[in-house]
Structure formats: structure tokens, C-alpha cells
A = this chain, B = another copy of it.
Amino acid sequence: MVPHLVTALNGPLFDLEKNILAATPAIERWFRLEWQEHTPPFYCSVDLRNAGFKLAPVDTNLFPGGFNNLSAEMLPLAVQAAMAAIEKYCPDAKNLLLIPERHTRNTFYLQNIARLVQIFRQTGLNVRLGSLSEELTEPTPIQLPDGTTLMLEPLEYQQGGRRLGLKNFDPCTILLNNDLSSGIPAILENLHEQNVLPPLHAGWAVRRKSNHFAAYDEVVKKFAKLIDVDPWMLNPFFAKCQDVNFQEHDGEERLAANVDSLLTKIRKKYREYGIKEAPFVIVKADAGTYGMGIMTVTDARQIKDLNHKQRSKMAVVKEGLAVTDVILQEGVPTFERINDAVAEPVVYMIDRYVVGGFYRVHAERAINENLNAPGAHFVPLAFAQPHALPDMHAKPGTAAPNRFYMYGVVARLALLAASLELEKTDPNPEIY
């Protein structure tokens, strides 16, 4: 199951939540059996949107940043899950090489790295940081706001170029916290008996959101049958649209037509369930992350009316990667608020275990907008207080509603989808 955390929302549980809570033993058994067949990604964070009438993942990150936003009391849980993960890949591990993003001066991001170092040191590994940046040619200490220091070191081949490490450091496992947006570095390829985690094809050089959500479709179809709900309750409609050039207006008609047909599908569902909200579609790059190249569309005509600035924003994502393929995703309005600001829960997992979560809160964004943008702040989810520990066998009204459990379930559905996605897109399935 998952840690019991206090969520912002503490009104009555909705039908979907009641269904999920009632089916807990069946759900947990189902996950256990699925994990017998599929290997979970090493780690993962999932952005969720809770519309009240529907709860769905909207982004599944296989190189999660933000571990520093989890509350410190979740650390032992993360350490225990990391032990289970390491044991699976390399039981005789002593050394772990962690490769962070290149932009080495972002102290917010580096606090995430510091937290990861802490987690893996506490599993009993020697952890050192290797940089993919070619400008980093000698060990470089970086001061963090809390006064501690991270040491970034240049990568160095070991054993005559067959293994990658650092000076006097031959790791058994190389853990990437770099999403490879700018391509797969040759230095990471063809290594000898070293685990590169997540695998290289999980990076945005290869990975596509549309593959992930296609796998999620499959997972949710099975799961929805298990708990007897409409799969749509847990799943945003999506479509993909290739060979679009926003600057040159190429593929614009096709994109608008796709948006229109998606809005029509959503409208039909909204009518079916008597939902009064205005349907919207999120258009985003099929590859890439960091909330760039993303927009909210409520009418297909908006596509043709994009101004120059909007077009340039959609045309490139992180590290200058050009956008030609986009995914259109049913927008899920977020129902949750913290102090009147719009909030979405983000759930963190290591191996198959939920290890914590937080709310991403944005005071200047609307309920139908992307919150992963400058100005967002993070509110860690803390453990539920002992007196409020939820118990589904308690009499109704005598225990706090266990809303976070449902978030953990849906996040794990996305985790399982990522596992299927990585299996299907593996270029070398025989050595997987």
C-alpha cells in the first residue's frame, strides 16, 4: 500500500474514491501480480489532476527531480525502497554513480541531488556525482544553501574504456537523473556489465509521451474492469499529431481538426456524467519535459490564431530540442486548492513503492492550466497524524478519509504503464 498522508482536500469521498477504497485488497493483489510480470522503473514521479469527477495522471517523469520537496520524515521510506531496488539490479553493489542534469548552478535542482545522495548513502552505498558537462574537467565543489557541499566530478573510463566511472571509482550502477533531452551521450553506450538506470531509451531523446499514454490505456482498461468503473474516470483521452511546425504553420489544419475531435469526445463524456465544466485540451510536445512547449486550448480555432510569441514558445523545449510531434491530452481541471491557490498532487515512487508526495501550488494559474511553471511552490505531504490514521474497516465517519491512498493507486497505474512502455520501446529487448 502507500504511506498515509494528509491531503489538502478533506471533504467527503467521491464515488470513485469509495470504489477504490472498498476494493483495496483486490487492488493490492492485482499490483503484486503485475509486478511479478513487469519490472517497475527505478524511480518515478507522477503529476496527478483531481477533478472530483475524475482523477488522472497527466505527466510521468522517469528522471524525477524534487525529492527535496518531500517531507524529511519520508526519508526512511525512500531508503527502504531504494534498498529493495538496488538489491534487484546489483546485490553486490558498493559504488553508485549518480549523473545529474548538466545545468550545474541551479541550487533548487541540486538540493534534489543532495537528497538523492543522502537516500543512497543511507542504503549503504558509496555515492559520487559524475557530470556529463564537457566543461567540467576537474572535481568541482558546489555550495548548497544549507551550507553543505556537493562535489561534481568529470566522468572517466575504467578498465580500459569498458566501464564508466570517476577517478578511483568503478560503480556497478549508474543512476541517471538527467533526462537526456539533448540526446544519448556516446559515453553512456555499450558499457560492460554496468547497470544504467533508467535505461537509455527512457530519456527524452527516445521516449514519447504518446507511447506512455498508449500503455496507460491498456493498464487502465484492465484496472477499471477490476474495480468496475468507467476507465475514463482515471484516464484522459489523448491523440498524437506528428510533423507539426508551429513557426511555419505546417500541419496546423490537422492539429486543429484533432483538437476539435478530442473536444467533441470530452463534451460527450461531460454530457453523460452531467459535468458542467468547460472542456479543454492540453497540447504539448510529445518528447520533453519541464513544462515547456505546453498550452491550454478550449477551441480548435485558437490553434490558427496563435501569435508569434506563442508559436516560438511551442516550437522548442528544454536544451533547444525542436518540437515537431505533439500530444493532445484531455485537460483535467484540478479541484484541489491550498489557500485559494490551484494545486496538483505529485506522487514519488522508488521501485514499486510510494515514498511520498507534495502539492505543486501555483497562485497565478487557473484550474485548467499547467502548474509546472515558474512561480510554483511546493507543499510537502506529511504523514497523517496517528489519531487520524485511516482504516477502511473503521465505521464510516469514525476515521479520516484516506484520499492519499487513491493518489498512490493512480500514480502506481502510471508507474506500471511506464514499465510496459519501456518494455515495448526497448531497442534491445533480449538483454532487457
If A1-B124, A121-B391 touch, whether A32 touches B91 (CB-CB below 8 Å) is yes
**In contact, A32 and B86 (Cβ under 8 angstroms):** yes
Flag whether A125 is at the interface (Cβ < 8 A).
yes
Chain B positions within 8 Å of A309 at CB level: none
The residue in A87, A122, A386 that gathers the most chain B C-beta atoms within 10 A of its C-beta is A122
Chain B positions within 8 Å of A245 at CB level: none
Partner of A124, one of B29, B122, B124: B29
Complex interface: stretch among A73-81, A158-166, A416-424? A73-81
Complex interface: stretch among A19-27, A135-143, A369-377? A19-27
If A32-B92, A91-B36, A121-B391 touch, whether A126 touches B25 (CB-CB below 8 Å) is yes
Partner of A121, one of B76, B84, B393: B393
Interface hits, A76-112 → B, CB 8 Å:
76-77, 79-81, 83-84, 86-87, 91-95
Q: Which residue of B lies closest to A95 (CB)?
A: B25
Flag whether A4 is at the interface (Cβ < 8 A).
yes
C-alpha spacing A76/B356, complex, angstroms: 10
If A80-B77, A353-B83 touch, whether A91 touches B33 (CB-CB below 8 Å) is yes
Flag whether A226 is at the interface (Cβ < 8 A).
no
Flag whether A72 is at the interface (Cβ < 8 A).
yes
A387: min CB distance to chain B, Å: 9
Chain B positions within 8 Å of A26 at CB level: 94
**In contact, B353 and A121 (Cβ under 8 angstroms):** no
Partner of A83, one of B1, B33, B86, B87: B1
C-alpha spacing A383/B28, complex, angstroms: 28
Chain B positions within 8 Å of A91 at CB level: 29, 32-33, 35-36
C-alpha spacing A123/B24, complex, angstroms: 9
Q: Mark A1-40, 1 if CB is under 8 A from B, else 0.
A: 1011000000000000000000011111100110110000
Flag whether A118 is at the interface (Cβ < 8 A).
yes
Partner of A27, one of B1, B80, B95, B124: B124
Flag whether A389 is at the interface (Cβ < 8 A).
yes
Chain B positions within 8 Å of A257 at CB level: none
Chain B positions within 8 Å of A76 at CB level: 3-4, 77, 383
Interchain residue pairs with CB less than 8 A apart (14): A1-B79, A3-B79, A4-B75, A25-B95, A25-B124, A28-B125, A32-B87, A32-B93, A72-B389, A73-B386, A75-B386, A76-B77, A83-B353, A121-B392
* New A-B pairs, 18, CB < 8 Å, besides A4-B76, A84-B84: A1-B79, A1-B122, A1-B123, A4-B75, A24-B124, A25-B124, A25-B125, A26-B94, A29-B92, A29-B94, A32-B91, A35-B91, A72-B386, A72-B389, A76-B383, A77-B80, A80-B80, A83-B353
Which residues of A line the B interface, CB within 8 A?
1, 3-4, 24-29, 32-33, 35-36, 72-73, 75-77, 79-81, 83-84, 86-87, 91-95, 118, 121-126, 353, 383, 386, 389, 391-393
| 6 cross-chain pairs, A with B, having the tightest CB-CB distances, nearest first | A28-B124, A72-B386, A3-B76, A32-B91, A25-B94, A1-B122
